[in-house]
Amino acid sequence: MEILSISQAQFQHNDSYTIAIFILLAINFYLVRRSRELNLPTYGKVMISFFSLISVYAGIQFATFLRGFQHNTAFNLKQLKESGTSISEDSYGSIEFFGNPSAPFNTAVPDTL
């Protein structure tokens, strides 16, 4: 039960960050449009481009976090199942849905403990 509650909290945090990324991307599109309308100097366009790249990178980073959370939840549930503990049908379904992992996913995922 603790595994599922921790993963649920991680998914909620990831959802909040994803909404923030979409807002940043909307701001980026607005700034690009305004920079073309106002014919900003080159340094202004470079700053907007840099801001856009940072926003896209953050989106990729949060997508990686989400994939890691899903994979690690399935891995922990699989270990629990293999230890002989009975798990629910939903837990078994998440193991199957996320690929029946054989090792934890730790690439680019921060340590949350």
Interatomic CA distance for residues 32 and 57, integer angstroms: 17
pLDDT of 1: 63
CA 75 to chain centre: 17
Residue 88 DSSP symbol = -
pLDDT of 109: 57
Q: Provide the whole-model pTM.
A: 0.70
By the 10 Å C-beta count (0-12 exposed, 13-18 middle, 19+ buried), 95 is classed as buried
Domain edges within the chain: 2-97
Q: What is the mean pLDDT of residues 100-111?
A: 70
Kindly indicate the confidence band of residue 104, based on its pLDDT and cuts at 50, 70 and 90: confident
Instruction: Report which secondary-structure segment, H or E, holds 110.
Output: none
Q: Is 86 helix (H, G, I), strand (E, B) or coil?
A: coil
Q: What percent of the chain has pLDDT over 90?
A: 33
Amino acid at 95: I
Q: What is the pLDDT of residues 5-52, one digit of tens each?
A: 877 888 888 888 889 999 999 999 999 999 999 999 999 999 999 999
